[in-house]
Amino acid sequence: MATLEDWTQAVRVALDLDVEVDEALVLDLAREAAHGVMRPAAPLTTYLLGLAVARGDDPRATAEKLTDLARGWQ
């Protein structure tokens, strides 16, 4: 049976991306967005994290900022 790591590697190859993926960081952020905001916020938030990282933002600091935002969401 394929694992999440297998899927991530296949996506990286398909997109010709030579980057490491911190799966725990992304999944933790997705969980916080899903529970703190609403379920559809999870993929949107992680996508926006990716855009911010692509422009040069620090992945961990950005994820922490978004996690704090999700936890405080009303």
- Under 8 Å between Cβ of 29 and 44: no
**Quick one: pLDDT at residue 67?**
99
pTM: 0.92
Q: Label residue 60 by pLDDT band (50, 70, 90).
A: very high
Q: Label residue 59 by pLDDT band (50, 70, 90).
A: very high
Question: How large a percentage of the chain has pLDDT more than 90?
Answer: 96
Average pLDDT value for residue range 56-71: 99
Domain boundaries, the chain: 22-71
pLDDT tens, position by position, 41-54: 999 999 999 999 99
